[in-house]
Structure 1
Amino acid sequence: MKDKTKLMAILAISAVIIISGFTVMFFTQRVRMNDGYVTGNTAGNLNNKGLFCESDGVVYFSNAYDNGCLYSMNPDGTNMKKLTSSGVTSINADSHYLYYFLDSGQTGDKFVQRNYGIYRSKLNGKNPKCLKRGNAIALQLCGNYLYYQNFDNYNENGTELFKIKIDKSEDTRIADFMVNPACIVDGIMYFNGTKKDHYLYALNAANDSISVVWEGNIWNPIYYNGYFYYMDVGNNYRLCRYLPSQNAVEVLTNDRVDTYNIYGDYIYYQKNSQTEPALMRMYIDGSGVEMVAAGNYSNINIVSNYVYFNAFDSTVPMYRTPLYGSVQVSTFDAAEEAAIKEINKK
């Protein structure tokens, strides 16, 4: 009888341990969902490849000094940590995860293996999961879905808009034409037409229905403080803003604009000029125009206290200047130093 009682006790304890193990595994592997239509990065950053992203006091960035690998740091550039061993773009973040497009070419003894696609990982870079293998040009988080541009050489439509659930349970084509998903506000995606016109359109994430907002001639719209900022296609890509409540347009600069970004009180933009190209900045109403750096620059990414950019024809050096106050352009030395330390570990 004692042996039987002992055996029953052992079996009961074993059952509890097994059930507890499965419970822990379930909760640790379960994907945590978002409340509401949270987004993963600013439209301006994503229009500039999404190389920087700030969330809950942490800046995540693609370190060009380390082949674009994902790093994290404090907003002032301290406490740098390497999170991936492959290059990333279109960085998004919510309170639980990071999302990004990862592209890796790893050379073996007899072959080259390339891993690329949309990934989700923990905020510390651990437990990366591939959600979708393939080419994703740009992606933006909206609640529990990632809207992304999918490019396929074998598809006659070229670039199409898809959305995939963050737990990988759904992957749906939304539009059979090119749509830029960068600008999403309160569950509404704003984008310019690419087929027969360049109107301003809205996509409602609740049902993915598309409607015309304004029959303008625009490119790369950003909704900010009640205005739609955009590049005016019909007028040499000058930068304007549209106030829908008054159906009014304001010209902010007559400079031809290659790319731009908005944060706080400022617009930073690349001026296209045969003789005087320059990275410029101005207030969001078009006043206070000043030059940041002479020359051609791209990938203007902005976080809470710095503006990051690089020369048009080279990803390094990385440059930065304070977002506010006087212009003080410097090389992003902390990123280079962190990359050198990581490379020396190999």
Structure 2
Amino acid sequence: MSISLIILIIFQSSGYVSANQETNNNVGGGWIAEDPSWIYFGYGGKLIKISKTDAKKVVLNNATTKGINVKGDWIYFTQKEGNDWNKYSLYKMKVDGTNKKRITGTGIDKVFVYGDYIYYTVFLTDPKTGYYSPHSLYRMKTDGTNKSLVFNGVADSIHFSGNNIFFINVTISSDGLKYSGPIMKSSLDGKNITTLIPGENRGLQVVENRLYFSDEIGLHQVDVNSLEKQTIIDQNIKSFYISNQWVYYVTRNISGNHLNKVKFNGTENIKIHSTPYYLGDISIIGDSVYFRHYTVFMKLKHDSVSPTIFMN
């Protein structure tokens, strides 16, 4: 077994995964989203939309933007306020760039639009460790009314399925290197919170009636109802998605970072891209995988093994 740290990025394009595509992309920061006509992209201190037909670019917002969700005629996103890296406020704006309105802030981390509600986490400083961490899950109507607390604790790897929220109740170690906890389930309003899977879990996805999660041992799947567990990969997993039955993952070793894909049954393991520099911020939109290689954003079609430059 390789001692390389493996980051698996898994997203299921067929079947019901979670709230919507933005829910999964926000695992990687929510820097990209789409609607039928446009791709919305937070890049270079701006929010840009790019036409799917002729690649026309339109600047919608002149500020650092992430947490992008597109629903109907509206974009929901976080915008950096000032110089502190964690000072983001939540905004909404028409997809044509008009009617921009600040909803709440600052210190907003992840944002998920599900049904008629915006769910979001906020940054707080852990008094024991001094580290900033996403803390407390809230929700409000998409018009900014009816704000309420859903979970009072560090909620991460948040996913929605039907009338339920699944998340990891994270505990951060004193050195800041360990970020794990039990998998929880609650109703959409935060009631009826239960522990589904105890232990030091670090990643979570919901695909139909199955939970996929990682811990120090590997990647596992569990039936939501029976909680019957099956180990899929017995290697050190950090985060993950599934796309078109492919598993996209990054290995780290002494030579650098390596993007690979493998069939979900473990066959057809293919190396896609290697770099001695940073490789991450992976998101999946439609039929393509997007990721950042150092300062360059790359695009990879699911049926290809040759990424192209998306934005530099």
TM-score (norm 1): 0.71
CA contact (8 A) 1:55 1:93 kept: yes
Report the counterpart of residue 26 of structure 1 in structure 2.
Answer: none
Indicate the SS of the match to 2:237.
strand
Following TM superposition, by how much is the alpha carbon of 1:105 offset from its aligned partner in structure 2, in angstroms? Answer: 4.1
Q: Spell out, residue by residue over 1:127-168, the C-alpha distance to the aligned partner (whole angstroms, 9 max, x if none).
A: 111110201111111222211111134988962222222211
Report the counterpart of residue 198 of structure 1 in structure 2.
Answer: 181
CA contact (8 A) 1:278 1:291 kept: yes
Cα distance between partner residues in 2 of 1:75 and 1:155:
46
Report the counterpart of residue 99 of structure 1 in structure 2.
Answer: 76
Letter in 2 for 1:52: I
Aligned pair partner of 1:132 in 75, 93, 104: 104
Following TM superposition, by how much is the alpha carbon of 1:195 offset from its aligned partner in structure 2, in angstroms? Answer: 4.4
Report the counterpart of residue 245 of structure 2 in structure 1.
Answer: 265
CA contact (8 A) 1:189 1:205 kept: yes
Report the counterpart of residue 150 of structure 1 in structure 2.
Answer: 122
Q: 1:260 to 1:77 in 2, by over 3 A?
A: farther
Cα distance between partner residues in 1 of 2:27 and 2:48:
20
Structure 1 residue 321 and structure 2 residue 300: aligned?
yes
TM-score (norm 2): 0.78
Please, what is the CA RMSD of the aligned residues? Answer: 3.0
Letter in 2 for 1:302: I
Cα distance between partner residues in 2 of 1:49 and 1:245:
30
Report the counterpart of residue 282 of structure 1 in structure 2.
Answer: 262
Cα distance between partner residues in 2 of 1:247 and 1:77:
48
Structure 1 residue 73 and structure 2 residue 50: aligned?
yes
Indicate the SS of the match to 2:24.
helix
Structure 1 residue 170 and structure 2 residue 146: aligned?
yes
Report the counterpart of residue 290 of structure 2 in structure 1.
Answer: 308
Report the counterpart of residue 63 of structure 2 in structure 1.
Answer: 86
Q: Spell out, residue by residue over 1:276-300, the C-alpha distance to the aligned partner (whole angstroms, 9 max, x if none).
A: 6411212234332222212451110
Structure 1 residue 297 and structure 2 residue 276: aligned?
no
CA contact (8 A) 1:184 1:190 kept: yes
Q: 1:279 to 1:194 in 2, by over 3 A?
A: same
Cα distance between partner residues in 2 of 1:220 and 1:180:
8
Higher strand share: 2
Report the counterpart of residue 58 of structure 1 in structure 2.
Answer: 38
CA contact (8 A) 2:112 2:119 kept: yes
Cα distance between partner residues in 2 of 1:280 and 1:246:
32
Higher helix share: 1
Q: 1:164 to 1:252 in 2, by over 3 A?
A: same
Q: In the TM superposition, what are the counterparts of 1:181-192 in structure 2 within 5 Å?
A: 182-192=158-168
CA contact (8 A) 1:102 1:116 kept: yes
Cα distance between partner residues in 2 of 1:120 and 1:155:
32
Q: Spell out, residue by residue over 1:230-253, the C-alpha distance to the aligned partner (whole angstroms, 9 max, x if none).
A: 222x32xx3332234564434333
CA contact (8 A) 1:41 1:140 kept: no
Mark the structure with the bigger radius of gyration: 1
Q: 1:276 to 1:286 in 2, by over 3 A?
A: farther
Cα distance between partner residues in 2 of 1:261 and 1:80:
29
CA contact (8 A) 2:21 2:285 kept: no
Report the counterpart of residue 308 of structure 2 in structure 1.
Answer: 330
Aligned length: 281
Indicate the SS of the match to 1:47.
helix
Cα distance between partner residues in 2 of 1:135 and 1:300:
23
Cα distance between partner residues in 1 of 2:37 and 2:201:
33
Cα distance between partner residues in 1 of 2:250 and 2:25:
14
CA contact (8 A) 1:265 1:284 kept: yes
Following TM superposition, by how much is the alpha carbon of 1:40 offset from its aligned partner in structure 2, in angstroms? Answer: 5.1
Q: Spell out, residue by residue over 1:28-68, the C-alpha distance to the aligned partner (whole angstroms, 9 max, x if none).
A: xxxxxxxxxx94534431111111112334321112xx22x
Cα distance between partner residues in 2 of 1:154 and 1:214:
24
